[in-house]
Amino acid sequence: MNQSRPQSTSSSGSSKATSILIADDQDDVREALRLLLLRHGHVLMQATTPAEVRTQINNEAPAIVLLDMNYQRDTTSGQEGLELIEWISSQHPDTAVVAMTAWGSIDLATSAIRAGASDFIEKPWDNNRLLSIIKVQSEFRQATRQSQKYQTIAALQQPQTDGDMVAESAAMQKVIAMLQQVAAADASILLRGENGTGKNLLAEQIHAWSGRADKPLISVNMGSIPENLFESEMFGHVRGAFTDAREGRIGRFELADGGTLFLDEIGNLPLPQQAKLLRVLESGDFEKVGASKTQHSDVRIISASNADLEDMVADNRLRKDLYYRLQTVEVTIPPLRERSADIVPLARHFLQRHSSRYRKPVDGLSAAAEKVLQAYSWPGNVRELAHVIERGVLLSSGARLQPEDLSLQAAALDMSANSAQLSDSDLTLDELECRHIRSALQHCQGNIADTAKRLGISRAALYRRMEKHQLDG
């Protein structure tokens, strides 16, 4: 493999190096192109046979190929070049091909363009025209990739939370003050707390307060990625990297370049993937699946977990070095039951949002409804409160929400020691199951894996039952 790095860049050259593969069987042609293109700051590779062309493109994925159409002596048909163009167009559609031949003709030029070439130039070439073609193809490729990247980012950057933050309790004010203090730095932040406490919203706020606010915030739930797709999701893949890779994919690290990457449920990441994640966190370097070219991404990491990470480290379920890498700053979000001063303000916030969304004239909470909300233990935290208010708005027939609109079962209320509780004999089988699952979730502080283990069922089975009973994790 022959590869040349730029030694200097002329004032008329490209402001950004373009990777170019020079494919020609004549030494003098390759050397002339190498000297010309090095002066203009490009990164160069060389190949002398069709086999070398395929190998170089598979390994390095150049932006542009300057492709000779003929390789065997006394061959002028251009068939070898046409076959290579068709292969590149099929397997590496992001690579632009500029066809080159000393046997130029209108028919061959037309055939090359039909096969997938981006442009065509005859030998001996005009230097200015060749440089102009390279500049146009490089800029077009960059614009296309940016467009694809922005489209993917737009699809991934849908708001993950219910909107503006409400934090009136002293406990949350302390959390907010700490996060505002560290947001401007690029230090990794680990958010701890039960499910539903608002870790996603706080990650959005940290990003908004940081110097990266004008760059992407990309979120990924680490527990939802199948093990065999981890590298593809996080680092991307090239077309043809595996059986179903019909198109190339941009990974989350590349999408978040310059911005923030939020790794939710980091405690659910299996050990084999932890090592792969640690490597990119330490260096910023990664390779797409199916490619050998190393890429670099500059991202700020925010992670979140409701698991007991210290126990996971002790049990060798979480790498200690990964844990330390993630917890430069660690902040624990208190559960809603420990910040009672936030319950009613949050409920009013969600009430305003959902009454506007559903166009229902519900403009407040009755005093009795506020007491019920404050008495409830909220095992699902803020997320559960949001769903309860949304359901209340939908069910309400008056101007103010009443206790009956909230649909909080008496069995689930933690009113006081002398509150009347329903006995098991008064409940249906479904109600008993709902109560038992809710109790287990509360005991395990919303941790799905621990709750499923406590109940003796799989996580998938637990998720199905939670959906059935409209319970939040």
173-211 pLDDT, tens per residue?
999 999 999 999 999 999 999 999 999 999 999 999 999
Asked if residue 427 and residue 396 are part of one domain, the reply reads no
Of the two residues 419 and 164, the one the predictor is more confident about is: 164
- Tell me: do 120 and 200 sit in the same domain: no
Give me the number of domains the chain comprises.
4
One domain for residues 110 and 176: no
Query: Last residue of a domain, which of 408, 425, 445?
Result: 408
Same structural domain, 397 and 288? no
Q: Are residues 325 and 186 in the same domain?
A: yes
Instruction: Examine residue 165 and state whether it is found in any structural domain, yes or no.
Output: no
Residue 14: which domain range?
2-148
* pLDDT of amino acid 155: 60
The pLDDT tens digits for 141-179 are 777 776 666 666 666 555 444 446 788 999 999 999 999
For range 391-399, the mean pLDDT: 90
For residues 79 and 22, membership in a common domain is answered with: yes
Reported pTM: 0.63
Does a structural domain hold residue 119?
yes
Beta-bridge partner residues of 96:
64
Q: What is the mean pLDDT of the chain?
A: 84
**Domain endpoint, select from 310, 334, 358:** 334
**Nearest-angstrom CA–CA distance, 459 and 265:** 14
Please tell me whether residues 300 and 187 are part of one structural domain: yes
Quote the distance between the C-alpha of residue 268 and its chain's center.
Answer: 16
